[in-house]
């Protein structure tokens, strides 16, 4: 970061000479350059690391040395994170979503490089994950820290985070439209011209930077050779259902495996995860790394490359046996990805979802050809299968459609892409209402959504709304003592609390108004006889959604806040509405 004196002068100069709107557009281009350079850097570090380790590697035969590389990479990643970064940086997209919803769109400066380095160690050494999530976190960190440097507000900071994420996807795939749509679907930014124009500037800039430095050398690209055949639409519908169900397995299986590994000690996780990963790569060498090279071979009809020839050589001669081998790869890729991340590796689920989708499409086409004697294009079904699993796993059908369309250099498969992506998304959504990026955030009530009311409520916390200017009274107090408290109180509700802070209920001024002036009963009437327990009580850890529901159910203007039986204060309907309106202005331009 720049020194404060230089930063201050820069801010003053900017405010005097550049309008806010123009300045945001300039920053979006700067973010595009930064995220494009980050994408190029990661592609090169991954390529040269992998080339150095695997030069001369063949998928035929048994190469025991390569089984150790992923384990070494995971260990190096753990050491780097523990002693250099000193912070958990896994699940990059989820961290970006958390920063937007719960951290005022602030991402730490080290994320501009730490994810790149750790991903290189994991993926370059053969970890079975993808580079997209780390590069998304890197691009988002560039946008966030630029916003912090120029002291921009939350709305602008969030937009620049989105620009960084979009630029990262656009730069790594040279797919500007898919990059912009990724942000709108995954990071859930508002679709307004204020947001869309900077996003497009960033994605185009990042794509141009990547093209100028790398040419057509993107992570994955393919040229279509077979046209779309309209009579195959029923088969694409079935493929959509198949990839949707596969997406459910992908989400649940990966989260379950990671949660099981997280219960173990770090050493045990590395040992079990490393041995499992090595065994899987021994069986399926195509699980080494992100697998884009293998995908190109599979799409080109060289499906025999997916398994160890020494183990499956004889099986591959039979169509049914080959189908079993291919189907096994679908399952094992999810397991390999999960154990890589669960053991401590850094990477994303973007590339694995593409890999699994391609194998699903390839398997499905082979199944149809074998059973019905058809001549269905394996490459077309593999490409469309990519979109299906992406749409289901990420809950982002538009991103899946346009990414596959852009990396294949055209829109010849647009119709089947739409069919499969839509059906896969709908199928997966029946079983999983949240994507792999948002599932755990949603469970912790830390997710921002396209629903503006819920998005604003996610920024609010009951603890921040507690009011304590209510006069408390002891349950053993007499009516006379209560009346003395009433004469000096500013509110018409009186919480009944003992000396230890235990909450017994409340007394309403309206309920005692008729007897409070009858002095004859002052000493024989007690507060414990006048109190009542309200129907609705708020816990300070409740979500704001629940707080709003309680206000609607009770039709009261003030509700008590109680934690472990102890009285903390009240939350008023007016205070909730006031903060909601204030945050709504901060949250959106609309």
**Average pLDDT for 559-582:** 90
Q: Which DSSP letter does residue 112 get?
A: G
Q: Are residues 446 and 460 in the same domain?
A: no
Q: What is the pLDDT of residue 516?
A: 87
Residues 6 or more apart in contact with residue 70 via CB below 8 angstroms: 125, 126, 127, 128, 274, 277, 278, 281, 288, 340, 345
Could you give the number of structural domains in the chain? 3
pLDDT confidence band for 410 (50 / 70 / 90): low
Measured CA to CA, the distance from residue 432 to residue 331 in angstroms comes to 18
Q: What is the pLDDT of residues 87-143, one digit of tens each?
A: 888 888 889 988 887 788 899 999 999 999 999 999 999 999 999 999 999 999 999
Q: Which residues pair with 532 in a beta bridge?
A: 506
Q: Residue 437 sits in which domain range?
A: 230-451
Residues 357/361/363/369 CA torsion (nearest 10 deg) = 180
Q: Looking at 102-106, 223-227, 393-397, which range is the least confident one?
A: 223-227
Q: Are residues 430 and 520 in the same domain?
A: no
Can you give 178-208 as a three-state secondary structure string?
A: HHHHHHHHHHCCCCCHHHHHHHHHHHHHHHH
Measured CA to CA, the distance from residue 516 to residue 484 in angstroms comes to 10
Q: Are residues 430 and 469 in the same domain?
A: no
What is the CB neighbour count within 10 angstroms for residue 82? 13
Greatest Cα-to-Cα distance within the chain, rounded to the nearest angstrom: 102
Among 451, 485, 501, the domain-final residue is 451
Q: Looking at residue 401, which CATH number applies to its domain?
A: 1.10.3080.10
What is the CB neighbour count within 10 angstroms for residue 216? 9
pLDDT higher than 90, residue 217? no
Q: Are residues 395 and 344 in the same domain?
A: yes
Tokens of 24: 């945001």
Q: Are the C-beta atoms of residues 588 and 452 closer than 8 Å to each other?
A: yes
Q: What is the pLDDT of residue 367?
A: 93
pLDDT higher than 80, residue 500? yes
Q: Are the C-beta atoms of residues 413 and 403 closer than 8 Å to each other?
A: no
pLDDT confidence band for 55 (50 / 70 / 90): confident
Q: What is the pLDDT of residue 586?
A: 64
Most confident of 157-171, 284-298, 398-412, 516-530: 157-171
Q: Looking at 61-70, 502-511, 540-549, which range is the least confident one?
A: 61-70
Q: Looking at 173-177, 257-261, 451-455, which range is the least confident one?
A: 451-455
Q: Are residues 442 and 461 in the same domain?
A: no
Q: Are residues 208 and 240 in the same domain?
A: no
**Average pLDDT for 382-395:** 95
Asked, for residue 221, whether it belongs to a domain, the answer is no
Tokens of 368: 């149809």
Most confident of 54-68, 207-221, 253-267: 253-267
Q: What is the pLDDT of residues 77-102, one digit of tens each?
A: 999 999 999 888 888 888 998 888 77
Q: How far is CA 95 from CA 42, 136, 400, in A?
A: 19, 10, 21
Q: Strand, coil or helix: what is 569?
A: strand
Q: How far is CA 132 from CA 114, 208, 293, 350, 511, in A?
A: 14, 18, 16, 6, 62
Q: What is the pLDDT of residue 590?
A: 45
Residues recorded for the chain: 590
Tokens of 345: 């590796």
Tokens of 342: 């669960």
Asked, for residue 222, whether it belongs to a domain, the answer is no
Q: What is the pLDDT of residues 326-351, one digit of tens each?
A: 899 999 999 999 999 999 999 989 99
Q: What is the pLDDT of residue 103?
A: 83
Which is more confidently placed, 466 or 302? Answer: 466
Measured CA to CA, the distance from residue 432 to residue 200 in angstroms comes to 31
Q: Are residues 11 and 154 in the same domain?
A: yes
Asked, for residue 313, whether it belongs to a domain, the answer is yes
Measured CA to CA, the distance from residue 203 to residue 226 in angstroms comes to 30
């Amino acid at each position: 970061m720049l020194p404060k004196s230089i930063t201050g002068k820069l801010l003053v100069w900017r405010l005097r000479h550049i309008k806010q709107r123009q300045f945001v557009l300039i920053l979006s281009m700067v973010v595009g350059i930064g995220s494009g350079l980050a994408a190029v850097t990661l592609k090169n570090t991954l390529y040269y690391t992998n080339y150095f380790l695997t030069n001369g590697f063949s998928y035929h035969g048994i190469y025991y040395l390569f089984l150790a590389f992923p384990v070494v990479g995971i260990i190096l990643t753990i050491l780097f994170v523990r002693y250099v970064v000193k912070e958990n940086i896994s699940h990059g997209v989820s961290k970006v979503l958390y920063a937007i919803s719960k951290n005022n769109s602030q991402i730490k400066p080290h994320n501009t490089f730490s994810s790149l380095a750790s991903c290189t160690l994991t993926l370059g050494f053969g970890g079975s994950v993808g580079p997209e999530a780390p590069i998304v976190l890197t691009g988002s960190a560039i946008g966030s820290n630029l916003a912090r440097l120029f002291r921009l507000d939350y709305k602008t900071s969030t937009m620049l985070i989105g620009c960084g994420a979009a630029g990262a996807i656009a730069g790594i795939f040279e797919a500007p439209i898919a990059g912009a749509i990724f942000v709108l679907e995954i990071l859930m930014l508002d679709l307004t011209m204020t947001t869309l124009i900077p996003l497009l500037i960033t994605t185009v800039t990042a794509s141009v930077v990547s093209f100028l430095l790398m040419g057509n050398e993107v992570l994955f690209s393919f040229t279509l050779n077979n046209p779309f055949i309209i009579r195959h639409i029923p088969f694409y519908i079935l493929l959509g259902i198949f990839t949707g169900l596969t997406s459910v397995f992908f989400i649940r299986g990966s989260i379950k495996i990671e949660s099981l590994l997280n219960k173990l000690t770090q050493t045990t996780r590395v040992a079990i995860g490393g041995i499992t990963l090595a065994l899987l790569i021994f069986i399926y060498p195509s699980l080494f790394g992100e697998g884009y090279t293998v995908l190109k071979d599979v799409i080109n009809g060289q499906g025999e490359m997916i398994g160890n020839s020494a183990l499956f050589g004889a099986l591959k001669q039979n169509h049914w046996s080959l189908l079993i081998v291919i189907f096994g790869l679908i399952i094992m890729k999810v397991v390999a990805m999960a154990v890589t991340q669960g053991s401590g590796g850094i990477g994303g689920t973007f590339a694995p979802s593409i890999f699994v989708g391609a194998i699903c499409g390839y398997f499905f086409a082979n199944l149809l050809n074998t059973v019905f004697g058809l001549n269905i294009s394996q490459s077309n079904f593999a490409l469309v299968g990519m979109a299906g699993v992406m749409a289901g796993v990420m809950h982002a059908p538009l991103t899946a459609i346009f990414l596959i369309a852009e990396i294949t250099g055209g829109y010849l498969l647009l119709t089947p892409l739409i069919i499969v992506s839509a059906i896969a998304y709908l199928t997966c959504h029946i079983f999983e209402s949240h994507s792999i990026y948002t599932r755990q955030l949603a469970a912790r009530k830390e997710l921002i959504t396209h629903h503006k009311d819920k998005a604003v409520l996610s920024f609010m916390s009951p603890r921040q709304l507690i009011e304590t200017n209510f006069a408390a009274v002891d349950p053993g107090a007499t009516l006379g003592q209560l009346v003395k408290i009433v004469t000096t109180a500013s509110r018409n509700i009186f919480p009944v609390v003992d000396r230890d802070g235990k909450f017994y209920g409340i007394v309403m001024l309206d309920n005692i108004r008729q007897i409070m002036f009858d002095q004859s009963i002052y000493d024989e009437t007690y507060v414990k006889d006048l109190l009542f327990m309200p129907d609705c009580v708020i816990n300070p850890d409740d979500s704001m959604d629940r707080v709003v529901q309680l206000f609607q159910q009770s039709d009261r203007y003030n509700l008590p806040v109680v934690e472990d039986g102890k009285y903390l204060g009240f939350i008023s309907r007016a205070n909730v509405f006031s903060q909601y309106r204030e945050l709504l202005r901060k949250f959106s331009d609309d």
